[in-house]
């Protein structure tokens, strides 16, 4: 099973969710690969530690070889590196990855991540972290995966980004990958008993998107685990937030793609346009209150 974690808004906890789900997967005995496609390389740093940026072969080198026509499919595994945890592996990113975006966009070789993963099929689970933009890297990740998970931090701008994201996913399904499914929304940085998060979650659920429970609460443990470069399942396996991530993992492990929906848009284009217009009006009213 291959999953991409994606939202067009930054700061929603995308890398944190990706790394912790991958680490829990590995802790349960599943051979798990995390592919870092974000030039910020936060997932690489989180899982590989302070020396992550020193790794010489990763996704940047892979794309460089694709552009230079020097990629050797027999050496696909050279980009994969074991994390310091059993069953967990990483294809790391680096800041130089952003320099490759213009030529990759120009050449439009959107199937290269899928092609790479097809050459290394002995992983039980694959998680892909993406930048907060609809560009070559995110489109390639969506084409390579069966499922998309959407982080949501109960913010108005994050909610608006979801509708732009869904429109992009509709386009990817239509043009490249009809079997791509939106698995659901993961609610992050949830503040219990606050009115706004409850309101926004209820509205998103009413619009037909699956909310994957439980919600991930705001916790200092996350920042502490970032500082230690250690996923929560290893940093503090008994912390409440670790249990929240584990329950989410158990929920998504039950996911089965809906065959009847393979060619149907997630939301009709007209509905998406109306939602985007509504969000723009709400933002305008908020800023001019």
Q: Are 156 and 279 in contact (CB under 8 A)?
A: yes
pLDDT bucket at 275, cuts 50 / 70 / 90: low
Q: How much is the average pLDDT of 60-78?
A: 92
Instruction: Decide which of 155 and 243 is more confident.
Output: 243
How do residues 203-220 score in pLDDT, each as one tens digit?
888 888 999 999 999 999
Give residue 139's region: left, alpha or beta (phi > 0; psi -120 to 50): alpha
137 pLDDT more than 70: yes
Q: Residues 96-125: pLDDT tens digits? A: 999 999 999 998 889 999 999 999 989 999
Backbone angles phi, psi at 110, to 5 degrees: -80, -10
Q: How many angstroms from the chain centroid is the CA of residue 1?
A: 14
Report whether 76 contacts 256 (CB < 8 A): no
Which position has the higher pLDDT, 188 or 74?
A: 188
Mean pLDDT of the chain: 88
Domain ranges (residues) in the chain? 2-287
| Inter-residue contact 30 to 95 (CB < 8 Å) | no
Q: Given this model, what pLDDT does residue 278 score?
A: 53
Q: Tell me if 7 sits within 8 A of 162, measured CB to CB.
A: yes
Q: CA–CA separation, 234 vs 251, rounded Å? A: 20
Over pLDDT 70: what percentage of the chain? 89
Cα–Cα–Cα angle for 250, 255, 258, rounded to 5 degrees: 170
pLDDT in tens, 226-252: 999 999 999 999 999 999 999 999 999
Model pLDDT for residues 4-56, shown as the tens digit of each residue = 999 998 889 999 999 999 999 999 999 999 999 999 999 999 999 977 777 88
Q: Which CATH number fits domain 2-287: 3.40.50.300, 3.90.650.10, 3.40.50.720, 3.40.920.10?
A: 3.40.50.300
């Amino acid at each position: 099973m291959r999953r991409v974690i994606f939202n067009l808004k930054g700061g929603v906890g995308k890398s944190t969710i990706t790394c912790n789900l991958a680490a829990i997967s590995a802790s349960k005995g599943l051979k798990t690969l995390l592919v870092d496609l974000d030039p910020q390389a936060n997932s690489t740093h989180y899982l590989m530690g302070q020396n992550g940026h020193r790794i010489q072969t990763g996704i940047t080198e892979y794309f460089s070889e694709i552009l230079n026509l020097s990629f050797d499919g027999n050496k696909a595994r050279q980009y994969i590196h074991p994390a310091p945890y059993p069953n967990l592996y990483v294809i790391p990113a680096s800041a130089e990855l952003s320099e490759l975006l213009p030529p990759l966009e120009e050449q439009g070789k959107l199937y290269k991540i899928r092609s790479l993963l097809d050459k290394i099929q002995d992983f039980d689970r694959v998680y892909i972290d993406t930048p907060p933009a609809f560009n070559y890297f995110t489109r390639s990740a969506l084409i390579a995966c069966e499922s998309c998970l959407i982080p949501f931090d109960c913010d108005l701008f994050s909610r608006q980004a979801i509708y732009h994201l869904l429109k992009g996913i509709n386009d990817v399904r239509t043009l490249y990958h009809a079997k791509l499914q939106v698995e659901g929304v993961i609610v992050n940085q949830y503040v219990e008993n606050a009115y706004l998060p409850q309101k926004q979650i209820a509205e998103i659920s009413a619009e037909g998107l699956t909310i994957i429970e439980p919600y991930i609460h705001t916790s200092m443990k996350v920042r502490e685990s970032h500082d230690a470069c250690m996923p929560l399942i290893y940093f503090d396996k008994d912390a409440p937030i670790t249990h929240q991530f584990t329950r989410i993992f158990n929920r998504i492990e039950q996911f089965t793609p809906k065959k009847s929906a393979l060619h149907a848009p997630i939301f009709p284009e007209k509905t998406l346009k109306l939602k985007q217009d509504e969000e723009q009006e709400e933002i305008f009213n908020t800023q001019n209150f």
